[in-house]
Structure formats: C-alpha cells, structure tokens
Amino acid sequence: MDTSNTMNVSNGSVSVSEEPQKERIVSLASSRFFQEGFSKITLDELASELAMSKKTLYKFFANKEDLLNTVVDRLMMEARQRLSSIMGSQKSFVEKLSEILTFLGQLVRRVSKPFQRDLQLHAPEVWTRVEEFRRLRITEVFGRLIDQGIDEGYVRRDINRRVFFLSYLGAIENVVHPAVLTNESFSGHEAIEAIIRMFFEGILTTEGRQELVHQDRIHHG
C-alpha cells in the first residue's frame, strides 16, 4: 500500500472543534474509495479537493493506510448498528429478513468492485478483517433470526444450523468476490439477494414463504 508522504501524527485525541475537519476527510475518502478504489488516490489529492493543507490532513491521519482503516471501521460500525436496530425491533421474522435483504443490497451497491479488488491486492489484512466481520455478524444475526423464525412457525425445526451457516458463508465468499463478479453479468447486491433467498426459502415453512412473498409485494409494490 502507498504510504508515501507520511508525517508524524500527534498521539493526542481529536478535540471537539477539530472533529468536523476529520469528518470531512473521512466522508470524502469514503465516497472516493468506495467508488474508485483507493490504490490510485493520494492523500495530497484528497487534501487538494478539500481545500485543506496537507499539514491539516496529516494531523489526523499518518498515511493512507490509517485513513483506509478508519473508512472501513466506519462502514462496519454502520452495518453493525443497522443490523442491531433491525434485530432489536418488535417486527416479525419475515419483516426482519426483508429489511436485512434491503440493507445488505444497499450496502453492497455502495462498495465498488475496484475497492474490493484493492483491498484484496493492496490491503489483504483489511480484507481479512472485513471477511471475519462478515462471518461473525452473519452467524450472530442469522442465528437469532432463525430462532425467532422457528418460534413464529416460519422456519422448519429440522434444519442443521451448522451445515446451513457453512454453506451460506461459502456461497457468499466464493460468489460475491471481485474475481468472480468481474466475469459475470450480475452485480454484488444481486448475488447476495439471490443467495440469501435461496438459502432462507429452503428452510422456510409454507407459511413463511407465503409471508415473504407478501412482504416483497409491500416493499416493491
């Protein structure tokens, strides 16, 4: 990863008055990185676009790797908070599943193939962190969701959870992958929605499948 133009950064915390400047940097970096990838974007370029001195930018981030980690951390925090909000609501299993499908689709649409490729090629440790986050969150969220679905009669009681999670994670990791998506006509969010639907519809009761169709009509009608 490009770590040129590195300068020393103060170990002190960011003051309240400085927080808006830091947020501007993270906001622009998130937008540019997600759309274009990060390998060809320099901190000098970001500073120029923000009409900010390089000294100010380097006050908050020692190098591009530092900024990239912050951008990725923010994205994972957003995903964690949104999924927690959905699972913490009083809605039914099918309503939660439908909302999770919508949210994951929106999330994947924000993150381009160039960004994912850059993570794999130039920041493999960050890519590994993202993959681990996805595995942990999927296991936790879908585990709770399946419990609720069984209680409400929407999910079959005879499913093998371990086989379900291993199969689902394998499908996500091997299909929603930059090297695969580059050669396919479908997008990342289309792949995720198709995979979730295939796996979850397979464990739903007849009532659960009917209710999922009903929710689809509400959201897309």
pLDDT of residue 11: 42
The CATH architecture that domain 1-71 belongs to is Orthogonal Bundle (1.10)
Q: Percent of the chain at pLDDT above 90? A: 46
C-alpha separations of 156 from 1, 116, 151, 163, 205 in Å: 47, 35, 10, 14, 6
Backbone φ and ψ for 204, nearest 5 degrees, come out as -80, 150
Query: For 59-84, what is each residue's pLDDT tens digit?
Result: 999 999 999 999 999 999 999 999 99
pLDDT of residue 129: 94
Beta bridge partners of 155: 204
CA nearest to 209, candidates 156, 143, 141, 140: 156
pLDDT of residue 118: 93
Q: Is the pLDDT of residue 2 over 50?
A: no
DSSP state of 62: S
Query: For 150-182, what is each residue's pLDDT tens digit?
Result: 999 989 888 888 888 888 888 877 777 767 777
Q: Is the pLDDT of residue 127 over 60?
A: yes
Structural tokens at position 137: 């969150």
pLDDT of residue 217: 64
Give helix 19-36 / helix 64-88 axis angle, nearest 10°: 90
pLDDT of residue 180: 74
Q: Under the phi-then-psi rule, with left for phi > 0, alpha for psi from -120 to 50, and beta for the rest, what region is 61?
A: beta
Over residues 185-191, mean pLDDT? 76
The sign one gets for the Cα dihedral 145, 148, 152, 156 is positive
Query: For 91-116, what is each residue's pLDDT tens digit?
Result: 999 899 888 888 888 888 888 888 98
pLDDT band at 199 (very low <50, low <70, confident <90, very high): confident
Give the global pTM.
0.78
pLDDT band at 6 (very low <50, low <70, confident <90, very high): very low
Q: How many C-beta atoms surround the C-beta of residue 163 within 10 A?
A: 9
Of the segments 10-14, 113-117, 124-128, 192-196, which one has the largest average pLDDT value? 124-128
Domain with CATH 1.10.10.60 in the chain: 1-71
